[in-house]
């Protein structure tokens, strides 16, 4: 390994000097992935990549940097001087990733002594913020998108749509998301420019909403959702409003929530599942009264205890709240909710806010007439069309339609 290098570079950096037919020298930082990387994806066997260095002084911490290998090019023939575990064939077939400043920029997220392979994975993770399909895996756990992209790159082209269609990400995402995936390959410059524009617009909306602390990870998550068509304008607005005011009734997208809380998506998804279980038994919003993260951890440690102890307690709590079902086989809110929702809509003409006291009173009685009065009172407060129609119908039944003549049996003389 070359000595006297700046600390921002991987610890296994090799400096290669390539001399062309005109005697001009070009310098590269060269890396080869370890053998275990081949298990990640077909095409990573002997995978070698390099970054260009314009001037060795730019990568020298002190003194001079002596190249590990000198490659002399004579037509299609390469000869080498020096010792390296990277063969000349590996070098000539290596992937060019840019200049050394791009590599050094990754250093901030790396631990001391990190090697080129770790920088490579970090670079992919950074790229995945805007290209979520990069870490697409097949059933064997291999990175199927990387395999497609690398095979195409070896042939000096980008991946074709027919090849992208073989990846797990393509198969499990929407048509709109696939269009954006294709666009990123066919015209990466325009795709990148659109992403930058979308990101700037989102930052502007966040500032307008009063957010003074902007988390880059959250911005990236929202940008990705918007660029790939998973978020429309309403989704973006609702998400930003929720970030500005956590008390409003809106559920953040799991990936945005994971970015906000600095947790893995898997943890967020498991917590969301726990939230849904509780709400399905006790009703919307009731999960706010529980420590969801602790319950999720408890379930992971002992799912039997959760199913045999905790769930029955929730069901008992449901029957204590909705006493008309005590002693019956009805043990969960979602068992009664569908018919009640339909009944509410038939009376009020609109869907209910199932977190209100009126709805809870409506759901807690078996008296049909009482439910009608409760729902109609809610409709009166909201001034719904159904309420207005009912008032007009009652008036017409009692006093006749507007404009009709009312005559008696007598006469005025």
Q: Could you write out the three-class secondary structure of the chain?
A: CCCCECCCCCCCCEEEEEECCCCCEEEEEEEECCHHHHHCCCCCCCCEEEEEECCHHHHECCCCCCCCEEEEEECCEEEEEECCCCCHHHHHCCEEEEEHHHHHHHHHHCCCCCCHHHHHHHHHHHHHCCCHHHHCECCCCCEHHHHHHHHHHHCCCCCCHHHHCCCHHHHCCCHHHHHHHHHHHHCHHHHHHHHHHHHHHHHHHHHHCCCCCCCHHHHHHHHHHHHCCCCCHHHHHHHHHHHHCCCCCCCCCHHHHHHHHCCCHHHHHHHHHHHHHHHHHHCCCHHHHCCHHHHHHHHHHCHHHHHHHHHHHHHHHHHHHCHHHCCCCCCCHHHHHHHHHHHHHHHHCCCCCCCCHHHHHHHCCCCHHHHHHHHHHHHHHHCCHHHHHHHHHHHHHHHCCCCCCCCCCCCCC
Query: In angstroms, rounded to a whole number, what is the distance separating the alpha carbons of residues 48 and 320?
Result: 66
**pLDDT tens over the chain, length 413 residues:** 677 888 889 999 999 999 988 888 999 999 988 877 766 776 677 788 889 998 888 899 888 888 999 989 887 778 888 888 888 888 888 887 788 888 888 887 778 888 888 888 888 887 777 788 888 888 777 888 888 887 787 776 778 888 899 898 898 888 888 888 888 877 777 887 888 899 899 999 999 999 888 888 899 889 988 988 889 999 999 999 999 998 888 888 888 888 888 877 677 778 878 888 999 999 888 888 898 888 988 888 898 998 899 999 999 999 999 999 999 999 999 999 999 999 988 888 888 888 888 889 999 998 999 988 888 888 777 655 444 454 445 444 554 544 444 444 443 33
334: its two tokens: 């979602």
- Bridge partners (DSSP) of residue 72 are 19, 79
**pLDDT at position 396, please?**
46
Instruction: Map tokens 């409709």 to a residue.
Output: 379
Query: In angstroms, rounded to a whole number, what is the distance separating the alpha carbons of residues 292 and 288?
Result: 8
**pLDDT at position 1, please?**
67
Rg (CA), the chain: 32
**pLDDT at position 325, please?**
92
CB 85 within 8 A of CB 91: no
Main-chain dihedrals φ then ψ at residue 77, nearest 5 degrees: -105, 130
- Bridge partners (DSSP) of residue 73 are 78
**pLDDT at position 38, please?**
66
Read off the pTM: 0.52
**pLDDT at position 265, please?**
65
**pLDDT at position 241, please?**
94
**pLDDT at position 42, please?**
67
Query: In angstroms, rounded to a whole number, what is the distance separating the alpha carbons of residues 89 and 147?
Result: 20
352: its two tokens: 């209910």
């Amino acid at each position: 390994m070359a000595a006297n290098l700046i600390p921002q570079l991987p610890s296994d950096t090799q400096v290669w000097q390539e001399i062309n037919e005109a005697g001009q020298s070009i310098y590269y930082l060269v890396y080869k992935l370890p053998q275990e990387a081949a298990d990640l994806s077909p095409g990573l066997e002997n995978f070698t990549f390099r970054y260009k260095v314009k001037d060795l002084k730019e990568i020298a911490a002190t003194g001079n940097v002596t190249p590990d290998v000198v490659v002399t090019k004579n037509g299609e023939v390469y000869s080498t001087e020096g010792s390296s575990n990277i063969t000349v064939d590996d070098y000539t077939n290596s992937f060019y990733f840019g200049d050394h400043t791009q590599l050094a920029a990754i250093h901030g997220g790396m631990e001391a002594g990190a090697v080129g392979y770790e920088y490579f994975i970090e670079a992919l993770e950074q790229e995945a913020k805007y290209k979520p399909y990069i870490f697409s895996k097949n059933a064997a756990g291999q990175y199927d998108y990387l395999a497609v992209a690398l095979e195409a790159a070896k042939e000096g082209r980008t991946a074709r749509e027919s090849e992208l269609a073989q990846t797990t990400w393509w198969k499990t995402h929407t048509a709109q998301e696939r269009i954006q995936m294709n666009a990123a390959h066919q015209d990466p410059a325009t795709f990148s420019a659109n992403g930058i524009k979308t990101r700037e617009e989102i930052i502007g909306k966040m500032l307008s909403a009063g957010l003074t602390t902007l988390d880059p990870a959250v911005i990236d998550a929202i940008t990705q959702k918007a660029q790939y068509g998973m978020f429309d304008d309403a989704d973006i607005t609702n998400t930003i409003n929720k970030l500005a005011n956590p008390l409003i009734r809106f559920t953040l997208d799991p990936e945005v929530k994971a970015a906000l809380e600095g947790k893995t998506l898997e943890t967020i998804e498991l917590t969301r599942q726990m939230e849904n279980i509780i709400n399905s038994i006790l009703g919307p919003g009731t999960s706010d009264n529980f420590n969801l993260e602790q319950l999720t951890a408890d379930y992971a440690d002992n799912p039997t205890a959760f199913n045999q102890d905790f769930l029955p307690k929730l069901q008992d709590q449901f029957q204590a709240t909705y006493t008309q079902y005590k002693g019956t086989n009805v043990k969960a809110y979602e068992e009664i909710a569908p018919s009640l929702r339909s009944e509410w809509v038939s009376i009020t003409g609109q869907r209910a806010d199932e977190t209100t006291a009126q709805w809870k009173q409506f759901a807690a009685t078996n008296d049909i007439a009482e439910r009608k009065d409760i729902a109609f009172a809610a409709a009166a407060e909201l001034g719904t069309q159904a309420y207005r129609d009912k008032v007009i119908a009652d008036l017409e039944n009692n006093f006749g339609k507007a404009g009709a003549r009312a005559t008696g049996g007598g006469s005025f003389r």
